[in-house]
Amino acid sequence: MSQELWSSVDEFICSLLAPEDASLEAALKAGTAAGLPPISITANQGKLLMILAHSIRARRILEIGTLGGYSTIWLARAVGPAGRVVTMEIQPAHAEVARQNVARAGCDSIVEIQVGPALDLLPGLATHDPKPFDMVFIDADKAAAPDYFAWALRLTRPGGLIVVDNVVREGNILDAESPDPSIVGIRRLYEIMSGERRAVSTAIQTVGSKGLDGFSISLVTAPA
Ligand code: SAH
Ligand code: DHB
Ligand code: MG
């Protein structure tokens, strides 16, 4: 079992079930051209987010970690023209690439990109736009994943979903002694999810063109 095989299978799946249109392809190209790291979700993962959002009839989605807006476009398509996606990005240069990618995809009236450290932006969101979200996609700095999860619980309606990317990290999350803040953060997230009574959670490990990683899914069951 090899990375080459995982990538080939991802190509097979994506070509049949999650083909990218010109806007999604252009979004990745623009990210590469601007020197953004190649760490966006894959097309089949984008389609999974879209299906999850559709299945709960999501109209309002919060994303933490925009990069070049590739996942944002999938989410914007999921909520449709009357929906809203708020996405937070700490790097102004990433946010600028995302702004152009989202506009090219025709999603700029749906998507609001907020620039800054998410933990500084989230309190403002709770006051200036207090309507609950149907879904939160957490995909920023992994050290702060527990904090983002706490905010997501506060901001998501019962019946809504919280998805966290990169919860396996090539299996490095098994290392209880790891000094890596990302690993410490994700391990703490598992502990919190395991004891959290306002949400029911699981995690799935994945292989594909981005290696061995995984995502968690939490269904919010009770109001904050
Ligand atoms: N969701 C994107 C990938 C996000 S990569 C996609 O799949 O297409 C992670 C992003 O989180 C990077 O752009 C990084 O700059 C951003 N980030 C890191 N720390 C952050 C923070 N504290 N607040 C907001 N964004 C942050
Ligand atoms: C990294 C971040 C991601 O969100 C991801 O999906 C893969 C890698 C990273 O920071 O290395
Ligand atoms: Mg990620």
pLDDT in tens, 104-114: 999 999 999 99
> Which band of pLDDT confidence, cut at 50, 70 and 90, is reported for residue 126?
confident
Tokens of 193: 């999810």
Question: Rounded distance, CA 155 to CA 179, Å?
Answer: 30
Which residue from 58, 41, 49, 47 is spatially nearest to 15, judged by alpha carbons? 47
Cβ neighbours of 10 (radius 10 Å)? 20
Given a cut of 80, whether residue 78 has pLDDT beyond it is: yes
Shortest-distance atom of ligand 1 to CA 63: 1
Q: DSSP labels for 112-146?
A: EEEES-HHHHHHHHHHHS-SPEEEEEE-S-GGGHH
Domain count, the chain: 1
Whichever domain contains 163, its CATH number is 3.40.50.150
Phi, psi dihedral angles at 52 (to 5 degrees): -60, -45
Is the alpha carbon torsion for 46, 50, 51, 55 positive or negative?
A: positive
Q: pTM here?
A: 0.98
Express each pLDDT in 155-187 by its tens digit: 999 999 999 999 999 999 999 999 999 999 999
Q: Residue 36 is part of which domain span? A: 3-220
Residue nearest to ligand 2 atom 8, measured at CA: 39
Is the CB–ligand 2 distance for residue 63 below 6 Å? no
Is the CB–ligand 2 distance for residue 39 below 6 Å? yes
Q: How far is CA 158 from the centre of its chain?
A: 19
Residue nearest to ligand 2 atom 3, measured at CA: 39
Shortest-distance atom of ligand 2 to CA 139: 4
Matching residue, tokens 């953004």: 36
**What percentage of residues in the chain have a pLDDT greater than 70?**
100
DSSP label at 42? P
CA 67 to centroid of ligand 1, rounded, Å: 5
Residue 189, CB half-sphere, CA atoms under 13 Å: how many?
Answer: 36
Looking at every residue in the chain, the average pLDDT score rounds to 97
pLDDT score recorded for residue 224: 74
Which residue type is seen at 201? S
Q: Is 34 helix (H, G, I), strand (E, B) or coil?
A: coil
Q: In what order do the strands lie in the sheet with 60-64?
A: 111-115, 84-89, 60-64, 133-138, 156-165, 211-220, 199-208
Q: Which ligand is nearest to the CA of 164?
A: 3
